[in-house]
Amino acid sequence: MKARPPVSAMLSPLLAWAAFAWPTTAHASFLPPALMDTAATYLAWFILIAVPIAGIVLFWLVHILPEKIAHKRHHPQKDAIQTLCLLSLVFGGLLWPIAWLWAYTKPVGYRMAYGTDKHDEYFVHMAEKAQAGELTATELQHLREELDAIAESGAMPPELRQARARLEGAKPTPAVAPAAPAAPAVSAANGAA
């Protein structure tokens, strides 16, 4: 005769099946249902209002980057780059890579035509710094040479003529003499020996 399995061995699969089959309450959230509806309403309003505004602002900030780069690099054609950035906003960003590349280019042809590769505002700003005595003699000489090259090309706007006149009376920053190294201190014990 065969030995019968113990009762516990027969009941364990039956109990496991009953545990899985027994319906239990499921909670999809840690919030109660009323609070879940309120949170969903606020989230929907946030998504409908704040996210599009943030997207538009981010799109705009990315599209003015070439203009900011051109301004920082004193690009002589920064006004045209700014216009291209605005047109890029209208055309959905298609012109933006061109504006980005243009902002980083070195305007060789512009330098040959006008004698400089800087925007006029750069020279006006540097003339103000020279008048305040914030430029060294080397910087001042270089600025004078660039303005002379522009004058030789014959395309000197009135702002640059005024900047050149400011440079005539500008004095360079006085050279600061390098500090002499301090003599090593002699201790009393070494002096007595």
The pLDDT > 70 percentage for the chain reads: 82
Give the Cα-Cα-Cα angle 173, 165, 109 (nearest 5 degrees). 95
End-to-end CA separation in angstroms for the chain: 113
d(CA 133, CA 174): 8
Q: Residue 180: is its pLDDT beyond 70?
A: no
- For residues 147 and 154, which has the higher predicted lDDT (pLDDT)? 147
Q: Residue 183: is its pLDDT beyond 60?
A: no
- Give the least confident one: 81-85, 139-143, 180-184: 180-184
Domain boundaries, the chain: 44-105, 113-168
When pLDDT is cut at 50, 70 and 90, the band that residue 27 belongs to is low
Residue that is written with structure tokens 């006004």 in the block: 79
Average pLDDT over the chain reads 80
d(CA 168, CA 155): 20
Total count of residues recorded for the chain: 193
